[in-house]
Amino acid sequence: MNGRYLQFALAWLVSACVGCTSAQVRYYTLASPPGKISSASKSSVAIEVRIIHVPPQLNRSELMIRTGPTEVALLENERWASPAKDEIRDALRLELQRRLGRMTEMRPALTKLTLDIDVQHLEAELGRYALLEAFWSATLYATEQSVGGQAETCTFQADEKISAGYAGVVEGYQREIAALAEAIVAVLTSPASGRDVSCH
């Protein structure tokens, strides 16, 4: 009897261990792959991105998705590679670096970009959409002079249709971060830009 009990206990322990190891944790990043930003497109402009606010749910390592009009799900096995706040900052800095790299070839005097960003929403529903809404303000400098204007109330919103799966959610966010960088550079380098420039 004891032998049978011991065999049963060992079998249960093995199956429990297998069950524990089968739930693989996957990690995601918003940053562009290293090969996407060539050395030729890297900017010499010093870029400072400051995330001044993110929604409370982004202060977690787990991804969160919307599952209905009033419900969200916390995904224990789908996680950010670093805190979401850092992922947004680093991804945005890389996208700005790529775009300003093209520009500094024509305007080598550009030296510094400072950006403050207030993330209002970053949410998604599997296989349907990814949404990014943010306020931002930034200044682009040439030597010691501001040439890109301080935009005090600029807003950005992107609503991407996404493919199925959790990777589809992250890829949707990546496209939105790239679109945000494109919008920031477009405003700051517009011929109409100046210290009194604002966008709504």
3-state secondary structure of 43: coil
State the Cα–Cα distance between residues 41 and 95, nearest whole angstrom.
10
What six digits make up the tokens of 108? 């080598």
pLDDT 10s digits, 24-51: 999 999 997 765 555 445 667 889 999 9
How far is C-alpha 149 from the chain's CA centre?
A: 25
Mean pLDDT value across residues 75-97 = 94
In sequence order, what E strands does the chain have?
26-28, 46-53, 62-66, 72-80, 110-125, 129-142, 145-146, 154-161
Confidence of residue 86 (pLDDT cuts 50, 70, 90): very high
For strand 72-80 and strand 145-146, is the pairing parallel, antiparallel, or unpaired?
unpaired
Q: How high is the pLDDT of residue 152?
A: 54
State the Cα–Cα distance between residues 52 and 43, nearest whole angstrom.
24
Backbone angles phi, psi at 190, to 5 degrees: -65, 145
Q: Quick check: pTM over 0.85? A: no
Mean pLDDT value across residues 150-169 = 86
Q: How high is the pLDDT of residue 165?
A: 93
Residue 149 gets the label, from left (phi > 0), alpha (psi -120 to 50) or beta, of left
User: What is the signed CA dihedral for 106, 96, 140, 187, rounded to 10 degrees?
Assistant: 90
Backbone angles phi, psi at 198, to 5 degrees: -145, 150
What six digits make up the tokens of 32? 């562009």
90 contacts 117 by C-beta, under 8 angstroms: no
Backbone angles phi, psi at 106, to 5 degrees: -95, -25
Mean pLDDT value across residues 146-172 = 83
Going by C-alpha positions, the residue among 170, 139, 176 that lies closest to residue 154 is: 139
Residues 6+ apart with CB under 8 A from 167: 28
75 contacts 61 by C-beta, under 8 angstroms: no
